[in-house]
Amino acid sequence: MASHSMEAVYQFIDVTTIAQRLLLFVVVPLMLLLLLLHIAANQSRKQTKLFPPSPPGLPVIGNLLQVGNHPHVSLRDLAAKHGGGLMLLRLGTVPNLVVSSPRAARAVMRTHDHVFASRPASTLVDSLVYGSSSVGFAPYGEHWRQARKLVTTHLLTVRKVHAYHLARHEEVRLVIAKLREAAAEGTEVDIGKMMNAFANDIICRAVCGKFFRAEGRNKLFRELNHMTTVLIAGFNVEDYFPGLANSVGSLFTRFTSNRVKQTHEKWDKLLEEIIRDHERRRKSSDHGRGAGGGGVEQEESDDFTDVMLSVQHEYGITRDHIKAILMDMFEAGTATSSLVLEFAMVELLRNPHLMAKLQAEVRKKTPEGQEMVKEENLAGMVYLRAVVKETLRLHPPVPLLIPHLSMADCDIDGYTIRSGTKVVINSWAICRDPKSWEKAEEFIPERFMDGGSAAGIDFKGNNFQFTPFGAGRRMCPGINFGLATINIMLANLMYCFDWTLPAGMEKEDIDMTEVFGLTVHRKEKLILVPKPHGTLLTP
């Protein structure tokens, strides 16, 4: 019995030994072979991965010195030499994908829009704009979706923009009155400064209501707007060397941090005062309704602050979120509208025959004897719209759109774009691409008219050769508001006045040198002499 048991044990040991030998000599080599094949396949895939072309750079700083004082121009020139539509730069330690063609822009802002819908992190913007919680700078996520939905549903709809037409008319009237006074005295005017103040006042009125001039708030908004633009557009160490800024940030950013803190505190104090004013008025209005009073007559009379206070719980936004969105309105609305108006005037002065053509249309479409152009007169002014389009094409106020951020690896035209890459869309280069635009460097509004080479092309996110407002998820939501401001002001400048340059200055003397920042503006002031047109303009 014992012998049979031992024999069974020996047989089991023999079987186990055979299995071990089989594992050692067959299975293990097979596993090693599979592992080697997997490694070889990975190596092959890595070898076949292509990254966008990149110009050679320097150690540590990469391609920073190749960007220059006019990045939109230098990046266009670099792309022409090295990358075409897609080019990869290393600015400090940060990889930047530069997009310079309509095809590449379509890939980023439509085909792979879900991948590139976020924003790069910025310590400076976080400190200024309440943790980057505005619509423009917020990273992609639920907060951004809710904030954008609020803005597009309640603040910047066509209906809401139209509701402000009387306010716009009143603000235009104030500008025209100042220009008439200057014309009567024969004095020159700084049209750029005047347009900036006008655009700022329009935004102030939309945000604060008719009390926006109280205590000089409109001027304070203008000052804070300028301070914020300078800070965001400046050289910030963490944007190019995130690790260095985190480790020795106090050595490099102390001065900037102090300025950011001071600017943020000024913004916060002003916005808090405005919100409290609105809360007091809302409580007073509620009490009035409870006692049988009329309260707020209709929704259209509510300004942006009123609207956000009324829906903040529905959208889950905090008080700081409201302030961030209001800051967004000022940053996006003031500079964009005023710069388009100034550049339109510059191009019309450089092309007097085009100004005469626009003036003829505006004066023909406005009822005879009418003191000013009204918004209902604008519908038939097709050349006016063409002039605005051509101005936006040749002089997009934000030539490099606010950067995007890739949230995952992505393939575009055979190139691999790695997750975490900052994406810079050169709208200026795209809008001047000679492959898309005939005589791309010339100011030709007729191209947008019926029968023109660009007839039917618009800037609403469907034509990627024309992207001054971006496209896709991160497209600027304020297009309707901005265009309403621009169109009514430009129409009245053309209707009410004839324009000349200062004595002794010819159109060829107009200096088109630009200064780059968050937006691009002309280096020299635009000084003009307004002359009243017709007897209807006599005060």
The total of other beta-carbon atoms located within 10 Å of residue 131's CB is 16
With CA atoms as reference, report the closest residue to 489 among 362, 395, 394: 362
With CA atoms as reference, report the closest residue to 197 among 227, 165, 172: 172
**Ranges assigned E (strand) in 187-281:** 189-190
Task: Please write down the HEC assignment for all residues of 256-309.
Answer: HHHHHHHHHHHHHHHHHHHHHHHHHHHHHHHHHHHCCCCCCCCHHHCCHHHHHH
CA distance 507 to 487: 24
Separation of CA 517 from chain center: 13
380 burial (CB, 10 Å; 0-12 / 13-18 / 19+) is exposed
The total of other beta-carbon atoms located within 10 Å of residue 350's CB is 14
With CA atoms as reference, report the closest residue to 320 among 143, 160, 152: 143
395 within 8 A of 343, measured Cβ to Cβ: yes
CA distance 493 to 388: 13
CA distance 410 to 118: 14
435 burial (CB, 10 Å; 0-12 / 13-18 / 19+) is exposed
Q: Which tokens belong to 6?
A: 């031992």
The dihedral built from the CA positions of residue 218, 224, 230 and 232, taken in this order, carries a sign that is negative
What is the DSSP secondary-structure string of 14-43? HHHHHHHHHIIIIIHHHHHHHHHHHHHHHH
Is 476 labelled a binding residue? yes
**Cα 427 to Cα 105, 121, 483, distances in angstroms:** 9, 22, 18
Maximal C-alpha separation, the chain: 132
Binding residues: 476
Binding residues for heme: 476
